[in-house]
Amino acid sequence: MNAKIPITIITGCLGSGKTTVLNYLLQNAEHERFAVVVNEFGKAGVDHHLLSSSEEKISLVNSGCVCCNAREDLEEELKQLLFAHEQQTNIFDHIIIETTGLADPSPIVYTILHHPMLSNHFSINLIITTVDIQNASIQVKRSPEFVKQLSASDRVVLTKADLVNEEEKMRIQTLVQSIQPVAHVVEAHNGKTDTEALLQPLERAHPHSFFSAPAEPAASSVQSISFTFDQRIDWTAFTLWLSMLLHAHGENVLRVKGLLNTGEDFPVSLNGVQHLIHPPEHLQEWPEDAVDSYLVFILRDINPQLIQQSLSVFQRYIGSDVELLEYREQIEGSLNN
């Protein structure tokens, strides 16, 4: 019987650097061929466009969080990958699943281990949790899913470690280890980390089979809304509007991300967490399946329609009509599954 294909799950809060760490892994892990499954909320998936490796099979599951209502989609995607692998149309050694920032990884593990076909062909290698070292103190208080992600992890990556001093690093590491004392903690500086240490299998004190069946998902106060822009936008006017929005509501804007046409040849990638907006990244080309600019918000305790109304009022200054792409009211299972 052939050896099972290992699956590594990368999880972490919204904006904690999962895609950045994954990108670095794909570009620097030697002697392994990867297939990647990226899970995002909303129709307008962004993160999979930011994975620059050309060798990997990259799939997007965006019908919801794979830890709750999209588990059937994940099952189907893994079956398709297995079929392609066995037919030798897509050969790989390892699968990486990047979850949405709202995911509890435990039900994902449960699904793989208890599905008759998947459990026969796949094994859980590691659960890696990325921790935004600048926001961890707030997230541990406000995000029950963050504690679940840490509790399930084998490896923890402290991201943005280059932005804080040694005292703060030690404080956050102590916080992490108070929740998950057996996880191995590594740092990421500018997205760079020790890929060999990160992917190396380990002997666990407990097998992943301890994960129980997922509970029925419950409604939460987390919502999402996404927009498209059919023309180039005025970058100065747009950033002014976004700055005012984050100044007023930043703590409740869990994530903002998008690909925007600012009049240059290629799009600008926007990525923010709460009050913080990362430096815009200029991509080298437009993704094949991205026709217009789009913008995605994941919110807690804010009526998404207020975002839509504000953006509609400001669109005359931004320079483009704004169209609603998708509105998800009360994302299910994001906090309590």
pTM for this predicted structure? 0.66
Mean pLDDT on 3-30: 88
Question: What pLDDT, on the 0 to 100 scale, is given for residue 227?
Answer: 92
Q: Are 126 and 184 in contact (CB under 8 A)?
A: no
Q: Name the least confident of 32-46, 155-169, 226-240.
A: 32-46
Question: What pLDDT, on the 0 to 100 scale, is given for residue 54?
Answer: 33
pLDDT band at 51 (very low <50, low <70, confident <90, very high): very low
Residue 260 scores a pLDDT above 60: yes
Higher pLDDT, 46 or 31: 31
Establish how many alpha carbons lie within 13 A of residue 74's alpha carbon, considering only the half-sphere containing its beta carbon. 30
Collapsed DSSP state (helix, strand, coil) of residue 303: coil
Question: What pLDDT, on the 0 to 100 scale, is given for residue 61?
Answer: 54
pLDDT tens per residue, range 179-234: 887 788 999 998 789 888 787 765 543 444 444 444 444 344 667 788 999 899 99
Query: What is the residue whose two structure tokens read 């925007």?
Result: 260
Query: What is the residue whose two structure tokens read 């990867």?
Result: 34
Amino acid at 316: R
pLDDT tens per residue, range 55-106: 444 555 544 444 444 467 788 889 989 998 898 888 889 999 988 777 778 7
Contacts of 156 (CB under 8 A, 6+ apart): 128, 129, 130, 131, 150, 176, 180, 183, 184, 185, 186
Give the chain's radius of gyration (CA, Å).
20
- Taking residue 72's Cβ as centre, other Cβ atoms within 10 Å add up to 11
Question: What pLDDT, on the 0 to 100 scale, is given for residue 41?
Answer: 47
Q: How far apart are CA 79 and CA 60, in angstroms?
A: 14
Mean pLDDT on 135-160: 88
Mean per-residue pLDDT of the chain = 78
pLDDT tens per residue, range 294-317: 898 878 788 888 899 999 888 889
